[in-house]
Amino acid sequence: MKRLKVMTIFGTRPEAIKMAPLVKQLQETEEIESILCVTAQHREMLDMVLDLFQLKPNYDLNIMQHGQTISDITVKVLKGLESILQEVKPDIVLVHGDTTTTFIGALAAFYQQIAVGHVEAGLRSGNIYSPYPEEMNRKLTGTLTSLHFAPTEGNYKNLIQEGIKEKNIFITGNTVIDALLQVVKKDYIFDNHLLNQIDYINKKVIVMTCHRRENWGEPMENIFQAIVEVVKKHRNAEVVFPVHLNPKIRSLAEKVMGGVEAIHLIEPLDYEPFANLLNRAHLILTDSGGIQEEAPALGKPILVLRTETERPEAVEAGTVKVVGVEKDIIIKEVDKLLLNSEHYLQMANAVNPYGDGMASKRIVTALKYYFGYIHTKPNNFKIESIEN
Ligand code: UD1
Ligand code: UDP
């Protein structure tokens, strides 16, 4: 039987982190020829991940420009992928999640009548403007997809409700847990001097990230002001905020939080130190999608700086709380976690509703099954099957 030609397309940091274990698995599979194409919607933040996992793209569209708009990304990715897809003619294109690279990668494949496999399919917040434009990107990608790799049963149900056929969905767990398990180590030593010096035992270290488009402007300013208040009130709190490279976010972070002694605004970290920083944190404040999946696995309480989430599983498990973007509410919720140890311990439960480290293997097995290389379906990921 001829080898299955699988082209993986991604472009941003989170896609790279979550696709790296899968690309490795594809490369190790005899029946598969794996081709990697990056759009480089992100540049430095993408390259950090490619280096860590030693991935060498076969194609690199190198599209990033500073201050790019969603339309800029759309046009460049769509046009850039056209000739590559015509040249390579893969049997299937794999895309991940909800970025503009994801949706346009799927659209470009559709225009060449190439099947699409969507990794991390079926997450829904129910509001097309939050997260924006990710909720719509994910829905549109789903419409263009033949094979849906849903991380959880809830994601599977969302797809069924939208009329996707059961035979086209595989419940795999989230590949982010595959990646996380590879990099988090108990005795990890940071290269970064500051991160090695922080007193993680006697200080209450808050790790923070914030970058979402729907938070740009006033909501983000509220969030940053809340953090300044928090460190003023709690002398034992110390904040580490690796700031996204988007200039809009950097300038606001510097304006509101620059010079505050207990707040460390640092450059984005490589995935390995970042994941290990999460593992040392007391609590996490974030509007990121991926961090909402990683922190519960590490038993860290997270306050989500958004008005809704497409990842309800860890909220149901009690480790994640969606607190919105109002200054006073954020301060109140952080106060509760810093002052009420019973409340803290209730949230600091290691739960792992998102994966067991086997998602990439399940996805490759599903591909082999779907294309007739094997006759046994992969087992579904089940939350009960995890031991913490
Ligand atoms: C993108 C995704 C978002 C994802 C996020 C992960 C879209 C529309 N948005 O948002 O879903 O959650 O990535 O981080 O797909 N920049 C650099 N170097 C980098 C990366 C970014 O300088 O390595 C700067 C550039 O000035 C760039 C800007 O950040 O123009 C914004 O990047 P962009 O990909 O457009 O948006 P993100 O906010 O990163
Ligand atoms: N991350 C990282 N370095 C950082 C901040 C985040 O490696 O300085 C990782 C984080 O662990 C998670 C992913 O990047 O796996 C999240 O990316 P981001 O917040 O950019 O995007 P989102 O998850 O919101 O799409």
The domains found in the chain, sorted by start residue, are 4-174+355-371 (3.40.50.2000), 188-349 (3.40.50.2000)
Give percent helix, percent strand, percent coil of the chain, each to the nearest 5: 45, 15, 40
Ligand 1 centre from 41 Cα, in Å?
7
The residue contributing the CA closest to ligand 1 atom 27 is 66
Residues in the chain: 388
pLDDT at 385: 47
Ligand 1 centre from 256 Cα, in Å?
21
In 3D, which of 104, 151, 149 has the Cα closest to residue 310? Answer: 151
Ligand 2 centre from 296 Cα, in Å?
15
Residue 51 annotated to the active site: no
Residues 186 and 257: their CA atoms lie apart, in Å, by 31
Q: Is the CB of 71 under 6 A from ligand 1?
A: no
Q: Is the CB of 66 under 6 A from ligand 1?
A: yes
Place of tokens 């031991």: 387
Residues 104 and 74: their CA atoms lie apart, in Å, by 6
Q: 241-270: per-residue pLDDT in tens? A: 999 999 999 999 999 999 999 999 999 999
Residue 326 annotated to the active site: no
Q: Is the CB of 246 under 6 A from ligand 1?
A: yes
- What is the pTM for the complete model shown? 0.97
Q: Which amino acids bring their CB within 6 angstroms of ligand 2?
A: 13-14, 17, 176, 209, 211, 242, 268-269, 271, 274-275, 288-291, 294
The angle at the Cα of 11, spanning 106 to 69, to the nearest 5 degrees, equals: 90
Residues 290 and 81: their CA atoms lie apart, in Å, by 26
Residue 199 annotated to the active site: no
Pocket test for ligand 1, best of 246, 288, 311 (most atoms within 8 A of CB): 246
In 3D, which of 27, 32, 25 has the Cα closest to residue 1? Answer: 32
In 3D, which of 282, 277, 333, 281 has the Cα closest to residue 304? Answer: 333
Residues 378 and 384: their CA atoms lie apart, in Å, by 17
**Cβ contact 176:294 at 8 Å:** yes
Ligand 1 centre from 216 Cα, in Å?
13
Single out the catalytic residue among 15, 60, 134, 178: 134
Q: Per DSSP, what are the bridge partners of residue 94?
A: 8, 117
In 3D, which of 91, 93, 119, 122 has the Cα closest to residue 106? Answer: 93
Which strands, in side-by-side order, build the sheet including 263-266? 263-266, 237-242, 204-209, 283-286, 302-304, 320-322
Ligand 2 centre from 213 Cα, in Å?
15
Q: What is the DSSP string of 93-162?
A: EEEETTSHHHHHHHHHHHHTT-EEEEES-----S-TTSSTTHHHHHHHHHHT-SEEEESSHHHHHHHHHT
For the CA of 212, the closest atom of ligand 2 is 24
Q: Which residues contact 341 (CB under 8 A, 6 or more apart)?
A: none
Q: Is the CB of 264 under 6 A from ligand 1?
A: no
Q: Which residues contact 43 (CB under 8 A, 6 or more apart)?
A: 62, 64
Q: Per DSSP, what are the bridge partners of residue 303?
A: 285, 321
Both tokens of 304, joined, read 């989500």
Residues 303 and 311: their CA atoms lie apart, in Å, by 13
Q: Is the CB of 191 under 6 A from ligand 1?
A: no
Ligand 1 centre from 289 Cα, in Å?
14
**Cβ contact 101:137 at 8 Å:** no
Torsion angles phi and psi, residue 205, rounded to 5: -85, 125
Residues 356 and 376: their CA atoms lie apart, in Å, by 20
**Cβ contact 286:257 at 8 Å:** no
pLDDT at 388: 43
Q: 216-244: per-residue pLDDT in tens? A: 999 999 999 999 999 999 999 999 999 99
Give how far Cα 62 sits from Cα of 46, 135, 191, Å.
Answer: 11, 25, 28
Q: Which residues in the chain land under pLDDT 50? A: 385-388
In 3D, which of 254, 147, 237 has the Cα closest to residue 200? Answer: 237
Place of tokens 């346009």: 104
Residue 270 annotated to the active site: no
